[in-house]
Structure 1
């Protein structure tokens, strides 16, 4: 019986890599897809923490990362021993960790969140009277504190790609373009940029926003996130003018160097069984990291079920 090999590609990989994939999407979406199709081997064209999440949710599967160097600054800027001490300092708080984190990091969390559901989950925790600490992304946490008036202590790591966006270059770049202008931004961007945005949301959320855009047809949409998603936005809405937000002097060249390590050659080798196997996580480590992920998934499932059960008001 032949093994089912599934190739997953994140939106931030190059278009040629996305075209090689069975599924393109956000990191959690991809891991859940692999689980649904019961993959025997998962080739994850993304970064290491994504491949680790795929292994945690698919422990029976072989998970291969095409390039050993595909890491993330949110991981490299986080010393897990220091994180554990920080967690202990706030032992009476609920530790909410962004999914863009290592397996060891996840194991220290009470809840895992994505950029799509972080608002709902933290609002739920505060409604329950909990106090919250947030890691690892300082920019995302700062935005949540600003947007909702929280006082969450924050871990201090950033996505090196999103952190390059800055308000001055953004304003200069937008001023150089005539006509209506909109800004959409990922919450990993710095707070001054997010305050200027017409929409702040996950990668999938920004893509959905572009798909539904029905305002001025001559508008320019600036996007403050990694440039890989512009390929998907262009496919979805070729009629729109979409541009990556500048990071300096009009430069629209902000790429994640780790995502771009997923080359055609590396992915092909991984599909043939070469690459980095995510086989170093022990069952205990995976169980500890899986628990806060499952808590998140159960919350999202219950929230969806409640929404579907709510009767729609019929006008009299």
Structure 2
């Protein structure tokens, strides 16, 4: 593995948190949103990292709560011709790439991602051009333009298998943008990888020293870690995986208590599926951590009820509707379909 490229330190434009709503206003908005979704032949898909009340609303209206790729697949296969994506911008773009014939809306177009912001297409494309013999593999947490520049798109749930496959073919790899996930995969596979040095502001905040102190308080707890976390945190894990894989691990493991090192939005689904188990947030403050995000993505938090209502009622849809240039969409679809086809083949092989 070679540490290859890092753009200048970014001062991420953290958004303001949505205003706190009264219970009466929340109930009023939920009722209105449910009616509007039916009127507009729309389905709502929400990411595991959105606030619990948003995830619950997606489920109550026949939508889904999932990771970014499953959100897009659900939207693609849904009968409704309008998709409301509660997440961050790259998720809306992915949904549009897979469902070009549908209208895709987001509560706010300002909801972004530090991995997306930290991997601008011009710099990343120049980096790829400097290494033309490398296969370009990019994480799903990137813009449509970056996906279009890639040979493969991966999610955290299948990145390991795809890199193993490429390594078996003797192909050197450019990996972007999450350096922690890339380092984890390089260590597991031994693949030759040139790294783009981006990071998720949520997972980058987890501290191994603080986690060690937390583990002393809960000695019987299993530690669940997303591989976007620093290597020192990953090394302490009893299970490492994507959001959906961590949920499954908590169901499969016999432990009654879990310390969870990922966005705390995941707790909604974990507690829903396993009400008898205890889930504790891994620390993001103390012993070197600064708690800028405090284990919850500030952009995911922008998906509030008021914003969702506005996206369904505004006359000027430009502030909420996702558009992807046709040529760019077709190019980005190639590496996405490679991943989907590989995933389907892998699933078929495992079930055979």
Does TM, normalized by the shorter one, top 0.5? Answer: yes
Contact 2:210 2:286 in 1 (8 A): yes
Contact 1:185 1:200 in 2 (8 A): yes
Shift of 1:271: 3.2
Give the aligned partner of residue 104 of structure 1. 145
Cα deviations across residues 39-81 of structure 1 (Å, max 9, x unaligned)?
Answer: 3111100000000000000001111111122000001111211
Shift of 1:2: 6.6
2:255 is aligned with 1:235: no
Contact 1:4 1:40 in 2 (8 A): yes
Please show how residues 164-179 of structure 1 align to structure 2 within 5 Å.
164-175=205-216, 177-179=217-219
Supply the distance in 2 between the matched residues of 1:192 and 1:96 (Cα, whole angstroms): 24
Q: What stretches of structure 1 of length at least 5 have no aligned partner? A: 310-316
2:94 is aligned with 1:57: no
Tell me the SS of whatever aligns to 2:193.
Answer: coil
RMSD: 1.8
2:261 is aligned with 1:224: yes
Give the aligned partner of residue 299 of structure 1. 342
Give the aligned partner of residue 13 of structure 1. 50
Supply the distance in 1 between the matched residues of 2:170 and 2:109 (Cα, whole angstroms): 42
Contact 1:183 1:222 in 2 (8 A): yes
Structure 1 runs (4+) deviating above 6 angstroms are: none
Shift of 1:132: 1.1
**Greater displacement, 177-186 / 26-35:** 177-186
Cα deviations across residues 232-255 of structure 1 (Å, max 9, x unaligned)?
Answer: 111111111211100123989421
Count how many residue pairs are aligned between Structure 1 and Structure 2. Answer: 304
**Greater displacement, 50-59 / 69-78:** 69-78
Match for 2:89 among 44, 48, 60? Answer: 48
Shift of 1:146: 1.9
Cα deviations across residues 207-255 of structure 1 (Å, max 9, x unaligned)?
Answer: 111122224x4xx311110010011111111111211100123989421
Please show how residues 127-166 of structure 1 align to structure 2 within 5 Å.
127-166=168-207
Compared CA separation, residues 7 and 85, structure 1 to 2 (3 A):
same
Shift of 1:97: 0.6
Cα deviations across residues 140-179 of structure 1 (Å, max 9, x unaligned)?
Answer: 001112222233110011001110011111112222x144
Give the aligned partner of residue 38 of structure 1. 79
Give the aligned partner of residue 321 of structure 2. 277
Contact 2:167 2:192 in 1 (8 A): no
TM-score (norm. length: structure 2):
0.83
Q: What stretches of structure 2 of length at least 5 have no aligned partner? A: 1-37
Please show how residues 194-273 of structure 1 align to structure 2 within 5 Å.
194-215=234-255, 217=256, 220-249=257-286, 253-272=294-313
